[in-house]
Amino acid sequence: MFAIRMRAVLLCVFFPCLVHANFSGGDDFNDNSVDSTKWGSDEIRNFGTFAETNQRLEFTGTMTANTIGMVLHHWTANYGSYTENWSAQVDVSLSSLALGSSDLLFISLTAANTANSEYNKGGITLRETNAGYFIVPGVQNSPSDTSQLPTPIASGIVSLQVSYDSATHTLITAYDLDGASNGYLWTPSESYDLSPWNMTDSSQFQLEIVAGGISATTRTIMSGQVTADNLAVTPEPSTLGLLGLAVFALLATSYRRRHAKISHTQLT
């Protein structure tokens, strides 16, 4: 009984992560059917649809001239911890389209403070304009405080990653320039201090795949022109958690040795 209590105390002291929920799971979209245990209702802003087609997530729709539109595909299987690390990644693609000078198309992986998801959000975007493709990390801290930093890239097939470091409360973006090909080799992008979001230890993050755009003329986005695949949502132990794991292992070993010694003494 003492051993069980001892383990429970140690777990509570060193593994706060075990009582805080965190992101985990993913979706390969291979069943061509939206899993309602993983995804909430899509939030459609002006136009567009997400559907699972061709073993991936595809965005389609008809853009009304000069009206920006997008759809938010909400991951609802779980939510990200503020006190533990996590990471999310997804493969995305945009087909090469004949866009006008004021047109753009995008697909993003974003994380937001669930308590203020409209104005406390950050992430990384693949954007297409008539000047080519761009990686665009960004953060929004308030209605008037938005930062974006486009970097031109050669291809419309990439992977996007958003990670969270609970030690520094920082959101970190990265991308893989050839997507799932050749394994994942992440190019660091930007990191954002989330202190303006005023989150607390009980706060949570939500995750979205977002796609949309704007066109000067009516334009239909066809199947296969905007896609996402292989979402992976991974909880990662924090530095504090790893330290706790090491201390727990030492204490457990010490306890087992003492207990074995006592048992041996009682037997002889």
Q: Output 56 or 127, the one with its CB closest to Ca ion.
A: 56
CB of 253 to Ca ion, least distance (A): 41
- Nearer to Ca ion among residue 208 and residue 229 (C-beta): 229
Our CB check for Ca ion shows the closer of 210 and 232 to be 232
- CB closer to Ca ion, 89 vs 113: 89
CB 183 → Ca ion: shortest distance, Å?
Answer: 6
Q: How far is the CB of 249 from Ca ion (least distance, A)?
A: 35
How far apart CA 108 and CA 95 sit, in angstroms, is 15
Q: Which is nearer to Ca ion, 32 or 168 (CB)?
A: 32
CA distance 159 to 180: 7
Residue 155, amino acid: S
- Min CB(32)–Ca ion separation in Å: 9
Whole-angstrom Cα distance, residue 212 to residue 226? Answer: 9
Return d(Cα 63, Cα 233) in angstroms, integer. Answer: 31
- CA separation for the pair 255, 251 (Å, rounded): 6
Residues that bind Ca ion (CB under 5 A): 28-30, 55-56, 176, 178, 182, 229
Q: How far is the CB of 206 from Ca ion (least distance, A)?
A: 23
Return the number of the residue (29 or 134) whose C-beta is nearest Ca ion.
29
- With respect to Ca ion, which residue has the nearer C-beta, 56 or 121? 56
CB of 89 to Ca ion, least distance (A): 11
CB of 58 to Ca ion, least distance (A): 11
